[in-house]
Amino acid sequence: MTDPVLAAIEREVTACRKCPRLVEWRERVARERRAAFRDDTYWGRPVPGFGDPAARLLIVGLAPAAHGANRTGRMFTGDRSGDWLYRALHRAGFASQPDSTARHDGLVLRGAWVTAAVRCAPPANKPTAGERERCRGYLERELDFFAAAPVIVALGGFSFAALLRIFRERDEAVPRPAPRFGHGVEVEVGRRLLIGSYHPSQQNTFTGTLTEPMFDAIWTRAAQLVTPPQCP
């Protein structure tokens, strides 16, 4: 059963039209579609978070992919970044299956919640600072809801910086100077541990900047810290 607080955030996220550039782009992509998905009905809206309302691990990405989550309506679903992510989460015990192809494909997360710094697909995967700030309130409300979660994994430098900015402006105990983003870097922020990971984008996975053993090490570390429940 969905928690009413998370359900309220989801309703607000999916109805959001705060950023004209992102609204125009996500809806145009949904109309024009990629040839491989020409028979699909695209979601074409902001994408809410997904996972276990009792999560002790938060996973924060950059933004939905134009033909991934913007098409399927679920974070990291329907693209190669999602293939990498959920395959790794499955190996670590956080996901019930290694595949994430559609909102109703049976995937269940246990102990983890997946979200993003920006909820609409941005052109060239590059949100502006203003778009990040207009979306910030949704992420902050999720951080408040999951205040007891001891571990956050930031996928990529954009989400890592966005999280540190939120924590610093909320007067949480961010080290000064804050460590620079890097794969496997850890930052203690009050009672939470923020872990940086390279994003599983094709730019990183195709070039070998991120390998599966490197990615698995992040989730092994997270699992050691939060002990995921057994997935069905």
Q: Residue 24: what pLDDT?
A: 98
Question: CA–CA separation, 75 vs 114, rounded Å?
Answer: 7
Residue 40: inside a domain, yes or no?
yes
DSSP tag of 94: S
- Of the candidates 71, 106, 68, 74, the one whose C-alpha atom is nearest the C-alpha of residue 90 is 106
pTM over 0.75: yes
Range of the domain at 207: 4-226
Q: Sorting pLDDT into bands at 50, 70 and 90, what band is 192? A: very high
Residue 231: inside a domain, yes or no?
no
- List the structure tokens of 188: 């203690």
Residue 196: inside a domain, yes or no?
yes
Q: Residue 232: what pLDDT?
A: 55
Question: CA–CA separation, 59 vs 181, rounded Å?
Answer: 16
Count the domains in the chain. 1
CATH number for the domain harbouring residue 214: 3.40.470.10
131-179: pLDDT as tens digits: 999 999 999 999 999 999 999 999 999 999 999 999 999 999 899 888 8
Residue 9: inside a domain, yes or no?
yes
Residue 50: inside a domain, yes or no?
yes
What angle, rounded to 10 degrees, do the helices at 4-14 and 129-145 form? Answer: 170
80-128: pLDDT as tens digits: 999 999 999 999 999 999 999 999 999 999 999 999 999 999 999 999 9
* Number of neighbours of residue 160 by Cβ within 10 angstroms: 28
Residue 232: inside a domain, yes or no?
no
Question: CA–CA separation, 219 vs 228, rounded Å?
Answer: 10
Residue 107: inside a domain, yes or no?
yes
**Cβ atoms 79, 96 nearer than 8 A:** no
- Of the candidates 191, 119, 126, the one whose C-alpha atom is nearest the C-alpha of residue 157 is 126
Question: CA–CA separation, 38 vs 18, rounded Å?
Answer: 28
> Whose structure tokens read 């570390």?
221
- Listed in sequence order, the residues at least 6 apart from 161 whose beta carbon sits closer than 8 Å to its beta carbon are 181
- List the structure tokens of 104: 């109703």
Q: Residue 178: what pLDDT?
A: 80
201-229: pLDDT as tens digits: 999 999 999 999 999 999 999 999 997 66
| pLDDT exceeds 70 at position 25 | yes
